[in-house]
Amino acid sequence: MEEKVYRRLLILGSGPAGLTAALYAARADLSPLVLTGMIPYGQASLTNIIENYPGFPQGIGGQELGQLFEQQAVQFGAEVIYEQAEAIDLSVRPFEVKTFSTTYQTDAIILALGASHRKLGVPGERELTGRGVSYCGTCDGWFFKDKDIHVVGGGDSALEEALFLTRFAKSVTIIHRRDELRAGAILQNRAKSHPKIRFIWNSVVKEILGSEKIDGLKIENVLTGEQTTVPSEGVFVFIGHDPNSQMLNGQIELHPDGTVKIDEHMMTSVPGVFAAGEIADSHFRQVVTSAGMGAAAAIQVTHYLGDL
């Protein structure tokens, strides 16, 4: 018979929201269990350096910050397990969360499942992923030493990653669909003044070309409709994120963009289920705001479980 394990509080996800929630819940003596998900420490762990998390004036690596979050939560009694929630049933009490090996039963859940990078959805993208198409500069940048590569997107991620990739690449060309960047001023200034960075404005990628590896990109100027092929040895896609809420569809109220609806006390439409971080926030999406949401969710869970 399948093993069922009861825990008073489950936290799904181990990014800044999940691990901050774990710290607060542990300090409230709730012995929370964190299921890390596929990317321990979340998307922030893939960032080479985080320069805007307070307390680290020299910046700190994403992986390193995640490890510190975990260490602090564990020190106060949280347990962190490298498992992924594969199914969530909110129709039963206690709630049930299934992983590959175990069914967990719990009185309360904090959803901190984060978000996943968006794909371009053009021909060649899927086939050439891992052969020149990437979504993580920190992970893959080294493979592009002395190569001429492209970055798609105009937000903070695109510029931050483009700047990081200049360590390896011969040139980094940013393709953006408008002629104005969404990224913040500091990153814009750094990117625009960097000798290795160029821009292709008002353009979108229509196809990624190549068989064993990338040879080039078919791009279209959105103002003129003109299509051109540019040679490329790699393309990094940073065009935003979608919340990891698919498993919750039909069980909980979601906003049209897929983020989980929460009230002012971080509670979702299902009493006992709380949410924090990018799964519930499509606006701020900062390490510090996600951590803050995690703390708030844990404080509310403490009240909720105390009243049960």
Contacts with ligand NAP, residue ranges (CB under 6 A): 52, 152-158, 160, 177-178, 182, 204, 238-241, 285
> What are phi and psi for residue 276, nearest 5 degrees?
-150, 150
CB-based contacts of 166: which residues, under 8 Å, 6+ apart? 172, 194, 196, 197
* Identified catalytic residue from 89, 140, 148, 242: 140
Instruction: Find all residues with CB under 8 Å of 55, minimum gap 6, and list them.
Output: none
**Read out DSSP for 37-84?**
-SSTTTGGGG-S-B--STT-TT-B-HHHHHHHHHHHHHHTT-EEE---
Pick the closer one to ligand NAP by CB: 74 or 209.
209
Please state, in angstroms and rounded to a whole number, the distance separating the CA atoms of residues 244 and 251. 14
Q: Select 27 or 285, whichever has its Cβ closest to ligand NAP.
A: 285
Alpha-carbon distance of 78 to 12, in angstroms, equals 13
Question: Between residues 187 and 275, which has the closer beta carbon with respect to ligand NAP?
Answer: 187
**H or E segment to which residue 237 belongs:** strand 235-237
CB of 11 to ligand NAP, least distance (A): 22
Q: Is 136 considered catalytic here?
A: yes
How many whole angstroms separate alpha carbon 182 and alpha carbon 192?
13
Judged by CB, which is closer to ligand NAP: 56, or 76?
A: 56
If the CB atoms of residues 28 and 208 are measured against ligand NAP, the closer one turns out to be 208
Q: Which of 116, 34, 26, 41 is nearest to 83 (CA)?
A: 34
Q: Residue 100: exposed, middle, or buried by beta-carbon count in 10 A (0-12, 13-18, 19+)?
A: exposed
Measured from the CB of residue 112, what is the shortest distance to ligand NAP in angstroms?
Answer: 16
CB 217 within 8 A of CB 232: yes
Q: Could you tell me the smallest distance in angstroms from the CB atom of residue 70 to ligand NAP?
A: 21
Closest chain position to ligand NAP (CB) = 155
Of residues 52 and 229, the one with the C-beta less far from ligand NAP:
52
Catalytic site residue from 136, 148, 215, 242 = 136
Q: How far is the CB of 67 from ligand NAP (least distance, A)?
A: 20
Q: What is the smallest separation between the CB atom of 29 and ligand NAP, expressed in angstroms? A: 34
| Residue of 79, 90, 112, 83 whose CA lies nearest to 3 | 83
Least Å distance between CB 238 and ligand NAP? 5
Cβ pair 262, 268 in contact under 8 A: yes
Among all residues, which ones are annotated catalytic?
136, 139-140
